[in-house]
Each structure stands twice: as C-alpha cells, then as structure tokens.
C-alpha cells in the first residue's frame, strides 16, 4: 500500500469517528470562556488554573522565564503571572502545555517523535519571536505562540492512530505524518474553535504556492524554522537541504532578514532555548 492510500485510510477513520481528535482540557475551556467575559479578570482565571497543579506550575515556570520575564523579578502567584503574560497569551500557552500533557502514547518510538517535534517547534517559537522583535511586522507574542503550535498536527495524528503508525518502519511513519500533519492540525484547530490565522499558518507553512496567504506570521514561522535548521536544530518533518543559502530562502528574503539577524537568533537560542525546554517539558 502506498503512502497516499495509507493516508486516505487514516483520514477516513477521522471522518468516520474511529479516530478521535483530542478534546481541550476543562481548564482551557473555562479560561477561554472567561476571556470573552468582561466581568472576569486575572484572579478568576488564576482560580481555574490553580485547580490543575500541572497547568499552574507550568504557567508560573513560563512566566518566570527570560522569554516572558526579562526583568528577572520573580513572579510568585498566578494572577501576577497572568497579568505579565496576558490572558489571551496564557490561553494559547495552555494549549501548548496541553499538547505535552494530553498527547501521549505508550510506544517509545512514537514518544521520541512527539518529543522531537515539540522541541523543534519550541526552537521555531523562540526564533520567530526574536525575529519579530527585530523586524516588527507582527507581535512577538503571536510569533512565539504560532511557532509553538504550527506542527500540532504531528502529535494529533500520532496519538489518534498509534497502532497504525507503529506497524510501519520509521521512514514510512515520517512519510505518513508528512502527508497528514497539516490537514489534521487544521482540523484540530477548527475543532478547538481557534482563530483562523492559526489554521492558515498550519496549512501553508513550509509551502510556497500561488494560494499562499499574504500573512506575515507564516513567513515568520517559515523563516524561524529554516534558521533553526540552519543552526543545527533538526526537525522531525520538513527538513531543508543543508547546502541551501539562508539568505535566498523566500520567507527570509520577504522579511529582509540579514546575516546579523541570523547571528542574533543563534545567540538567543543558545541563551534561552534550554530554559524554555525545561519550562515546557516539566509540564
């Protein structure tokens, strides 16, 4: 059976309901409802998050990271952490945390694939945010969150169909994920009722085509992904040729990224990526 046939079989199982998309945790649903309620504030959101030790610990770790707390003044309580990050950013971070907490499998090979995919996505998030600070065409926070979630289709497929995937050797599993991750990531974000921009990034990142939206966030994610690979952070999917000149990469050219920008990102990754991995992977 070729890759397209295998992908079609898996796709049909999603359509038939045999494979389930992961549901948002109750805490995330409640926080999303509160954000849309003008009567609710950071204390109310903090109360919901505090009911989940995993979420509350992760939010505090992330709020105290250099990424979100450059002043270094320790944040000790959740309301202060939420005010620091922003309630909508907290919600988006909770979705990233949820992908660590709730998208798990038993098979070590698939666990390793999920971990590699997440760690590279985190590197892309750090790079995209730093780019947005240097080239202010999108907000740095949006660049970070979009980079973090742009490959969420990978754990979505793995966790829904672990037995089907583990039956294939690793190179074939990678081909299957490559074929399905954009579609299933977009399906998941539609199911979670997330803003359309996230779906656009998932569907079009890594693809240069006539119907690619003129949305800067896609370029920031693509540029962040290419640069992190160029600096030695290997992805699970969408690898680029090693001999490709970064300054000739289309998203990088469109954003006007220079050698000095890339050198600055290399320093940023060295300085903060390990801390961010600890913050998220501790979830």
Check residue 180 and give its pLDDT.
Answer: 93
Q: What's this model's pTM, rounded to 2 decimal places?
A: 0.87
- Sequence-distant (6+) residues with CB within 8 A of 255 are 131, 135, 137, 216, 219, 220, 223
End-to-end CA distance of the chain: 38
List of domains in the chain: 3-16+106-281 (1.10.3210.10), 23-102 (no CATH)
CA gap 144, 128 in Å, rounded? 6
Residue (of 49, 95, 99) closest to 281 by Cα position: 99
Check residue 110 and give its pLDDT.
Answer: 95
Q: pLDDT truncated to tens, each residue of the chain (283 aa)?
A: 788 888 888 888 888 888 888 888 889 889 988 987 888 888 999 999 999 888 898 888 888 887 777 787 888 889 999 988 888 878 878 887 887 777 889 999 999 999 999 999 999 999 999 999 999 999 888 898 899 999 999 999 999 899 989 999 999 999 999 999 999 999 998 888 888 888 999 999 999 999 999 899 999 999 999 999 999 999 999 888 877 888 999 999 999 999 999 999 999 998 888 877 877 766 5
Check residue 50 and give its pLDDT.
Answer: 92
Check residue 256 and give its pLDDT.
Answer: 96
């Amino acid at each position: 059976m070729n890759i397209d046939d295998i992908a079609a079989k898996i796709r049909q199982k999603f359509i038939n309901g045999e494979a389930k998309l992961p549901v948002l945790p109750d805490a995330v649903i409640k926080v999303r409802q509160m954000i849309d309620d003008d009567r609710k504030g950071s204390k109310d959101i903090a109360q919901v998050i505090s009911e989940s030790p995993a979420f509350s610990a992760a939010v505090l770790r992330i709020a105290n990271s250099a990424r979100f707390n450059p002043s270094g003044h320790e944040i000790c309580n959740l309301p202060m952490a939420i005010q620091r990050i922003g309630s909508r950013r907290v919600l988006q971070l909770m979705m990233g945390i949820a992908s660590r907490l709730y998208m798990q499998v038993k098979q070590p090979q698939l666990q390793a694939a999920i971990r590699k995919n997440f760690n590279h996505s985190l590197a892309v998030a750090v790079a995209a945010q730093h780019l947005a600070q240097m080239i202010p065409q999108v907000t740095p926070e949006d660049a970070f969150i979009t980079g973090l979630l742009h490959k969420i289709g990978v754990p979505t497929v793995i966790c829904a169909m672990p037995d089907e995937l583990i039956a294939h050797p690793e190179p074939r599993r990678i081909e299957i994920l490559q074929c399905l991750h954009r579609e299933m990531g977009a399906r998941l974000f539609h199911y979670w009722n997330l803003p359309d921009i996230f779906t656009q990034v998932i569907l079009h990142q890594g693809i240069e085509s006539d119907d690619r939206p003129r949305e800067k966030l896609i370029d920031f994610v693509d540029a962040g992904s290419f640069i992190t690979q160029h600096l030695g952070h290997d992805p699970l999917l969408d690898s680029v040729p090693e001999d490709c000149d970064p300054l000739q990469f289309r998203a990088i050219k469109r954003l006007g990224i220079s050698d000095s920008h890339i050198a600055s990102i290399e320093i940023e990754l060295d300085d903060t990526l390990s801390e961010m991995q600890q913050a998220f992977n501790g979830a």
